[in-house]
Amino acid sequence: MIKLIAILLLLTTNAYADRITEMFPMEECQYRARLASGASWLRIQKMADSCETLKILWHGDETQYELSYVKKWMCKGFTLNLDPIKTGDLIYINCMKALK
């Protein structure tokens, strides 16, 4: 009975974990690069004037950490003033170097 309770507790705590902390480090670097290059594309297309005006569609089940993480990396990509490909490359390369 105690084993069953322990398993159920592990399953429920895992269900509430955010998606970012569950990523492998290389996946997180790719995710950062995608967020930054997407924001750079929005800047070039004039769909946003500043980081605060970036429109992000949320699912509704994001944790506070996920919300701040996405906003942080999109804002970095927006403010780099590079084209989307260079923005993504720069963010990805810097992230991968930090892993070494």
Is pLDDT at 10 greater than 70 in this prediction? Answer: no
DSSP letter (8 states) at residue 96:
H
Show contacts of 64-72: CB within 8 Å, 24+ apart: 65/18, 65/20, 65/21, 66/18, 66/19, 66/20, 69/20, 70/35
What pTM, to 2 d.p., does this model score?
0.80
* Structure confidence by residue, pLDDT tens digits, 28-81: 999 999 999 999 999 999 999 999 999 888 888 899 999 999 999 999 999 999
Between 41 and 18, residue with greater pLDDT: 41
